């Protein structure tokens, strides 16, 4: 699987928010999209998942584009938005069933994965609960359970750690590492690059809708000194 974003320009209205964005995510790679609030991370993802259309440039997933073969393109992506989107009238168990149907997964295999995931996220006694009974973090965990049941080549997560407790952060890191080890590719946005230490292969740093720096996460301090300095004040690389 290779995601290639090339010279992407785009945005919401007539005016472009993104300018000549280029980067790649290869097989088994974890790439972190980082940058200050409003720098264009979610807008970039909205283009990749097809919510927005490029004004210029191209986005290719294993050779397919949304324009050339929308079904082949979309079938390769699992996306977890920053704000959980759940069906209020469905239980956790039914959310899992819907995911299995939507992604045409083998039911037995998918439920084996699901059972492990709900246990990991300490939701195994809540399979019959409706979203109204879940806390904010639990809702996020339900989204993550659904995402990690799928086996699409590319997993995109917008802010995976926001609102999660410390145990859940470790759990997500472990699941990301497993997905990567199995050859899956992951693109995520984050404000806490340190959390990903050792896991992310590369970062892409956006500034005002442009790629201002990219490289190995080990080189982040050297390549983005202004933010690293600020982050250190908080004893964390908070962007």
- Contact between residue 37 and residue 43 where contact means Cβ atoms under 8 Å apart: no
- Shortest spacing between CB 56 and ligand ATP, in angstroms: 17
| Residue number, 92 or 187, with CB nearest to ligand ATP | 187
| Residue number, 99 or 140, with CB nearest to ligand ATP | 140
- What is the full DSSP assignment across 126-183? -TT--GGGS-HHHHHHHHHHHHHH---SEEEEESTTTT--HHHHHHHHHHHHHHHHTT
| Residue number, 12 or 87, with CB nearest to ligand ATP | 12
Sheet architecture: strand order including 3-10? 18-25, 3-10, 56-61
- Contact between residue 160 and residue 172 where contact means Cβ atoms under 8 Å apart: yes
CA distance 178 to 184: 9
CA distance 36 to 99: 33
Residues in the chain: 239
- Shortest spacing between CB 114 and ligand ATP, in angstroms: 29
| Residue number, 42 or 58, with CB nearest to ligand ATP | 42
- Shortest spacing between CB 53 and ligand ATP, in angstroms: 14
| Residue number, 43 or 237, with CB nearest to ligand ATP | 43
- Contact between residue 91 and residue 130 where contact means Cβ atoms under 8 Å apart: yes
- Shortest spacing between CB 136 and ligand ATP, in angstroms: 17
Q: How far is CA 79 from the centre of its chain?
A: 6
Q: Which residues bind ligand ATP (CB under 6 A)?
A: 12, 17, 35, 37-43
- Shortest spacing between CB 174 and ligand ATP, in angstroms: 25
């Amino acid at each position: 699987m290779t995601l290639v974003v090339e010279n992407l320009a785009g945005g919401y209205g007539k005016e472009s928010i993104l300018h000549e964005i280029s980067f790649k995510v290869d097989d088994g790679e974890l790439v972190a999209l980082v940058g200050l609030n409003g720098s264009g991370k979610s807008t970039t993802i909205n283009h990749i998942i097809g919510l927005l259309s490029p004004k210029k440039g191209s986005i290719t997933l294993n050779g397919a584009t949304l324009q050339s073969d929308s079904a082949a393109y979309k079938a390769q992506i699992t996306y977890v938005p920053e704000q959980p989107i759940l069906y209020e009238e469905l239980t956790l168990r039914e959310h899992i069933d819907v995911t299995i149907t939507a992604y045409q997964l083998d039911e037995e295999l998918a439920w084996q994965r699901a059972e492990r995931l709900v246990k990991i996220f300490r939701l195994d006694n809540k399979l019959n609960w409706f979203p109204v009974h879940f806390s904010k973090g639990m809702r996020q965990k339900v989204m993550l359970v659904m995402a990690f049941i799928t086996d699409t080549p590319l997993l995109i997560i917008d802010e995976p750690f926001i609102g999660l407790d410390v145990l859940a952060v470790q759990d997500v890191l472990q699941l990301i590492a497993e997905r990567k080890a199995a050859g899956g590719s992951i693109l995520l946005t984050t404000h806490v690059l340190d959390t990903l230490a050792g896991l992310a292969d590369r970062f892409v740093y956006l500034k005002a809708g442009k790629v201002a720096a990219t490289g190995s996460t080990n080189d982040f301090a050297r390549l983005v000194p202004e933010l690293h300095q600020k982050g250190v004040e908080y004893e964390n690389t908070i962007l």
